[in-house]
Amino acid sequence: MVLVAAGFIISSALFNATSQYATAVQLWSKQLSHQTLVLAEQATQSLFSAEVVLDALSDKIIEQAVNTDQSKTETQGDLIVRQVLQDKVRVNRLIEAISVVLPNGRVISSSDADVSPFEVEQRKSQFVQISPRFSSDIFLGPPRFDDKTRKWLFDLLREVKNRDGSILAWLRVEVSLQTFSELYEKVVQDLGQGAAVSLYRSDDTLMARWPAVDALVGVQNLKSATLNLIGAQKLAQGVLVTDSEWLTESKSTESRLVAVRRVDQFPLTVTSIIARDLFLKEWDDVVRKILWRSCLALLLLGLGAWWLLRSDTQLQLELRDRQFAQEALRKAHEELESRVRERTRALRLEVAERRRVERELVSANALTYAISHRAGMAEVANSVLHNVGNVLNSANVSAFILYEQHKTTSLKDFPLAISLMTAHRDDLAQYLLQDPQGCQLPEYLTLLAEVWEAEYANAIKELEQLMLSLQHIKEIVARQQSLSGQGGLKVQMNLKDVLHDAISLLAVQLKESEIEVTCQVGDAVLWMGDRIKLTQIILNIVMNGQQAIMASVERNVRRLQIEVSQSHDHTLRIDFTDNGIGMAEATLTGLFSYGFTTKENGHGLGLHASAVAAQEMGGTLTAHSDGIYLGSTFSLTLPIDRTAVQPEQVDVS
């Protein structure tokens, strides 16, 4: 198994290295192939422009230059020929000079004033003929270094024939290789160090190269990869990896990637070369990583095999001990299971007991809240009964006055006067005018009318007072009924109305206690919540404030102020401030605790129930006092979405 894993690791490493090598070669091959295509097109266009110059110079112009030379005199025609040649040189930056050369090598006309003789017949063997596309044959010469311009040049020759077919003269165009070298320099800089671009003639003569090596220009490289692709395999273009002798000063045989492409229509070949360090740089990094990973994997595999063998020996030794320990473990397990079952039964009983206690606690809390609620409602009911009793006293007074008025009224003698008038119905006029008793009857009726008017006005007044008292009782009962409903329902309410209704239930006690109540709240302060709970909290706080004020004998002015405000954290705040007896620090600490009271007849449920109700509505109820006889402030905070508080003085007396 270990050998199989090792073989898999090695084969995977070889496969990955081979794949990465193929990918790197393929990527660079495409790049170099495209590059040679661009360079070949550039060479074609450059040489074609020079070829066009050769063909554009007509044979008549050449004949004119020859005839002028034979006449041994410089004529206007010779100047015209030279001007034409100079114009052609100016319009083509590749061309250094154009001249007309006789077969014996003498230059008879040139764009350059100082031109050396050119032995065409002696050098013709060094020229390569270009595929004919124009009227005459054109030949491409080898590169040569011009001492005057300090540039590498090559010549293009076109023969000019007589009418009988003999050669009249040669038209020579000197083309600069500087443009090719500059372009190749930019290409090599883009490729990086270790790259080279060369231009060969069809006979493998080096025409131009970058990096430039003047000693190699014009040398034939018969062992090059270019000769292998273009010559032996007869291909127009191709890319190969080779380690054949490289045409450098050191004749290097380093492995390299070579891209070769023929220049279309010309006997030239473009070659791009990149050294192994360049096109396999990333592959070398990947191979090193693969090698390190493979070695690490083999090392880990060896360590794993050694550890497994060592562990197997230890396992054999431990197996015997485990067999002895297994029986002991089984017995311990059985004993543990027995203990777990016993503990489980105990935990179940404990959980059941805790649940029972929790249910009792919930019931006790609910009972406590109900008792607190009923205690608070009892106080409110006592207040209501007190108010109703005061109103009934007023109504009883009005009813007693009406009773006494009707019991002692003089109008009870009115039927006697009517009976006298009825008895003298037939002689009523004589009776009223002549009878002594009848003469007094009109005056008596007048007195009865005056008494009736007075008693009627008094009765109307007392009845109105009685109706007002009954209406007041009706309103008190209606408010009390509104608080006797089921709590927990959320409704939208106007806080001003809630405060007014709550304080109205205690209006009689507050008035009897001569307590001035002021309330600062806006007309449109809306709140969504439980109206019954909020009213109960307000009633408890106001009654507590009333009792605190009455307990303070030091105050001549008894005042209870209610102020509504909105905090920045979107909470509604209602402050109840009195100038009563105040509270000590110890009293504030346990004020809202269940059963805590400072009153002789108190039960300690009202403020506790109010604090619980505030928490159930998501708010808080707190108290503050600076000390005894310094008054106190109860603050109720409630969560709201939005409100606009505009203080307004409201008379609730």
Per residue in 287-343, pLDDT tens? 878 888 888 888 887 888 888 888 888 888 888 888 888 888 888 888 898 889 888
pLDDT for the residue 228: 59
Per residue in 502-561, pLDDT tens? 888 777 778 888 888 999 987 768 888 888 888 888 988 998 888 888 887 565 788 999
**For residue 9, how many other CB atoms are within 10 A of its CB?**
18
Q: What pTM did the predictor assign?
A: 0.43
Sign of CA dihedral 201, 206, 209, 214: negative
CA-based nearest residue to 266, from 202, 183, 221, 218: 202
Q: Which long-range contacts link 42-45 to residues 24+ away (Cβ below 8 Å)?
A: 42/183, 43/180, 43/199, 43/263, 43/266, 43/268, 43/270, 44/263, 44/264, 44/265, 44/266
Task: Please state the rounded mean pLDDT for residues 132-154.
Answer: 81
pLDDT band at 63 (very low <50, low <70, confident <90, very high): low
Per residue in 436-478, pLDDT tens? 877 887 887 888 788 888 878 888 877 776 776 677 677 666 6
Task: Please state the rounded mean pLDDT for residues 410-416.
Answer: 74
Per residue in 80-92, pLDDT tens? 777 878 788 888 8
Domains and CATH numbers, the chain: 2-50+179-279 (3.30.450.20), 57-176 (3.30.450.20), 487-651 (3.30.565.10)
Which stretch, 406-415, 483-492, 564-573, has highest mean pLDDT? 564-573
Helix (H, G, I), strand (E, B) or coil at 281: helix
Spatial separation of the C-alpha atoms in residues 560 and 236, rounded to whole Å: 112
Q: Which amino acid is at 115?
A: V
pLDDT band at 108 (very low <50, low <70, confident <90, very high): confident
Mean pLDDT of the chain: 79
Contacts of 312 (CB under 8 A, 6+ apart): none
Q: Are 491 and 370 spatial neighbours (Cβ–Cβ below 8 Å)?
A: no
Q: Are 455 and 405 spatial neighbours (Cβ–Cβ below 8 Å)?
A: yes
pLDDT band at 70 (very low <50, low <70, confident <90, very high): low
pLDDT band at 396 (very low <50, low <70, confident <90, very high): confident
pLDDT band at 648 (very low <50, low <70, confident <90, very high): very low
Cis peptide before 211 (omega within 30 of 0): yes
pLDDT band at 607 (very low <50, low <70, confident <90, very high): confident
Residue 638: pLDDT over 70? yes
CA-based nearest residue to 404, from 349, 459, 323, 332: 459
Of the ranges 156-170, 458-472, 579-593, which one carries the lowest mean pLDDT score?
458-472
